[in-house]
Amino acid sequence: MSTIYILWLRQLKRYFRSKARMIGSIGQPVLFLVALGFGFGPIFQRAGGGNYLEFLAPGVIAMGILFTAVFMGIEIIWDKQFGFLKETLVAPVSRMSIMLGRTLGGATVALAQGILVFLIAWAIGFRPSFSLFLVAFVFMIMIAVLFTGIGTAIASVVDDMQGFPLIMNFLVMPTFFLSGALFPLRGLPEAITIVARLDPLSYGIDGLRAALVPGSLQFGFWMDFWVLGGFTLFILLVGAYLFSKIEI
């Protein structure tokens, strides 16, 4: 347990020491909120969709968590190349503890990023319901853990620091754009609907949006919870297995 705590704390210190990294990571979510929220808002309203900023904000909050979480994996590659990971892996502790500590640390950073995006969205006009905020927080945690686990799993088998962002973008961009973060999933072509239902982020955003904006639930809270929770557990198991196979 102490190993998990130490690695969790190290991840937090590493991230929060970098002011440029913190500021840079909110640039894209703010751009989406302002450019899309106010740019497409009148069109969305005329189409009968209501307030687009209320629809968009939960998706952009999830986006802030998603991108921060998956790219935490690049730190594993960095540590591989500069030897810190080797020093950690030869310590008399289980690799499961090391993997969990790093994953939970990365997930905490991603969660903090999501909360920051939430505050920015609130500042520019997003007015959520706080009656189910605890439920929204649970979904934010699961999204953070899931995608930090994905980043960790991929970084465990990739050694190329330049190739990792390319692989992650190949996976992350379709995951985000087909999740219903930017547009409703109702009335789409059947092929896109099938892909969206296979996308774990769809369930995370659906649960998060329904908790913050009552009346917007599509799949059902329990379905969102169990599907997202199942994906998260599966990815943690896969990530733990791949991390245990890292050669030093």
Q: What is the pLDDT of residues 131-150, one digit of tens each?
A: 888 999 999 999 999 999 88
pLDDT at 15: 62
Alpha-carbon gap, residue 16 to 207, rounded angstroms: 29
More confident residue, 71 or 118: 118
Q: Which is nearest to 232 in space by CA: 8, 65, 88? A: 65
Alpha-carbon gap, residue 142 to 201, rounded angstroms: 10
pLDDT at 62: 92
Task: Give the number of domains in the chain.
Answer: 1
pLDDT at 145: 92
Residue-wise over 38-69: b if at least 16 C-beta within 10 A, else e? eebbeebeeeeeebbbbbbbbbbbbbbbbbbb
Phi first, then psi, for residue 88 (nearest 5°) are: -70, -45
> pLDDT tens-digit profile of 167-219?
777 888 889 888 888 888 887 888 888 888 999 999 999 999 999 988 777 88
* Percentage of the residues of the chain whose pLDDT score is greater than 70: 82
pLDDT at 27: 76
Instruction: Give the Cβ contact number of residue 72 at 10 Å.
Output: 26
Specify the pTM. Answer: 0.88
pLDDT at 233: 92
pLDDT at 226: 94
Q: Is the pLDDT of residue 246 over 80?
A: no
- CA-CA distances (angstroms) from residue 44 to 67, 177, 186? 26, 17, 14
Q: Which is nearest to 76 in space by CA: 150, 138, 168, 152? A: 152
Domain, as residue range, for 61 = 2-244
Amino acid at 11: Q
- Sequence-ordered list of residues with C-beta below 8 angstroms from that of 67, at least 6 positions apart, any chain: 25, 28, 172
Alpha-carbon gap, residue 39 to 164, rounded angstroms: 33
Average the pLDDT over 71-84 and give the result. 72
